[in-house]
Amino acid sequence: MTQPTHGVTLASLYQARARIAGQVTRTPLIRSQALSRRFDAEVFLKLENCQPSGAFKLRGATNMIRALLERDGAEALSRGVTTASTGNHGRAVALAASKLGVPAIICLSNLVPDNKVRAIEALGAEVRRVGRSQDEAFGEVARLVDEEGMTLIPPFDDPLIASGQGTIGLELLEDQPDLDRVIVGLSGGGLLGGIGAAIKGIRPATRVTGVSLSQGAAMWESLKAGHPVDVEEVESLGDSLGGGIGLDNRCTLALVRDVMDDHYQVSEVAIARAMVDLLADEKMLVEGAAAVGLAAIDEHGLDVRGQTVALIVSGNGVALETVDRARALAKPR
Ligand SMILES: *Cc1c(COP(=O)(O)O)cnc(C)c1O
């Protein structure tokens, strides 16, 4: 049998699981009383907002750094790892590297607020402030890789990253072997691709549903075009779902195309309502990207009656001001 081009297999998922064990939280899958009643289904929430870095991205970052340590030895990684992310990926790389004893430099522009910088420093990484844009921060990452021998940890487009995120899929099927459907937020595709690879490898009948933003959804446009395309980034309550997939995408576009059964876009109002519902009904404060599964069921009237459904509550990176914005937007129902 030929190896799939994206490089994410059941074997790579099980390897990832062994590597991250003890480093990353095996998160609970809880039944939501309120949502189960509301949709006449068995609705479960996979609580990646409970990861110590605040989101599932700790899985991929930990898997990749450990795999490189195993393959190349500690000496090869002694210059450290680097990336440029203000969000959940930056936090994940900072914490994963610190726990594994590898130096990390997270490059951020001078526009990034001090509180975000301090939060990443508190996780054990050095923050390097450069320029006034994300592009300039990426420029410094490229320089650290080219000139100082540091290793880039990408946010999604690598089989080791996607396999790390895919360990969620293994856990879902262990906890709910009869799962009918999993609904996953989709941006670069490491999360959905990894989970989908686990599902299609073990229980292909389980439906894998992706949810993207309604604007600036690079994966949506790229799937439509059949190749990676750039989109203009738009401000969103689901800011963790923004950003491109990379014009040189080599893994996740093919992977998502392989494993996803259906795909929806959700509006800002639907995201806002879902965030408020999770807060009011589950007492759970999550970011917009973590609420898009619920938003999709609600906005598109997905028929989940009688089914066992899992929603991936992917992270908790949300500021209180954003919650105020969501409440204001959600009000007129
Ligand atoms: C990164 C992220 C996503 C999307 O993951 P991709 O692998 O880029 O598709 C969803 N939710 C949260 C909270 C994230 O940080």
Q: Does residue 314 have an active-site annotation? A: yes
Q: Which residues pair with 312 in a beta bridge?
A: 46
Q: How many CB atoms lie within 10 A of CB 316?
A: 19
Report whether 183 contacts 312 (CB < 8 A).
yes
**Ligand 1 pocket list (CB less than 6 A):** 55, 57, 88, 156, 185-192, 240-241, 287, 289-290, 314-315
Separation of alpha carbons 11 and 317, rounded Å: 31
pLDDT at 289 over 70: yes
DSSP category for residue 214: S
Atom 13, ligand 1: which residue's CA is nearest?
315
| Percentage of the chain exceeding pLDDT 90 | 87
Residue 317, classed as helix, strand or coil, is coil
Give the pLDDT mean for 131-146: 91
Give the pLDDT mean for 90-102: 97
- What are the structural domains of the chain? 10-54+158-329 (3.40.50.1100), 57-152 (3.40.50.1100)
Q: Which residues pair with 263 in a beta bridge?
A: 210
Separation of alpha carbons 106 and 141, rounded Å: 8
Residue 178, classed as helix, strand or coil, is coil
Q: What is the dihedral of CA 218, 220, 223, 229, to 10 degrees?
A: -20
- Residue 240: pLDDT band by 50, 70, 90 thresholds? very high
pLDDT tens for 63-85 read: 999 999 999 999 889 999 999 98
Sheet containing strand 81-83, strands side by side:
126-129, 104-108, 81-83, 151-152
Separation of alpha carbons 81 and 62, rounded Å: 12
pLDDT at 2 over 60: no
pLDDT at 1 over 70: no
Q: Closest ligand 1 atom, CA of 317?
A: 13
Q: Closest ligand 1 atom, CA of 289?
A: 11
pLDDT tens for 99-109 read: 999 999 999 98
The secondary structure element, H or E, covering residue 235 is: none
- Residue 135: pLDDT band by 50, 70, 90 thresholds? confident
Closest C-alpha to 256, from 291, 229, 285, 220? 220
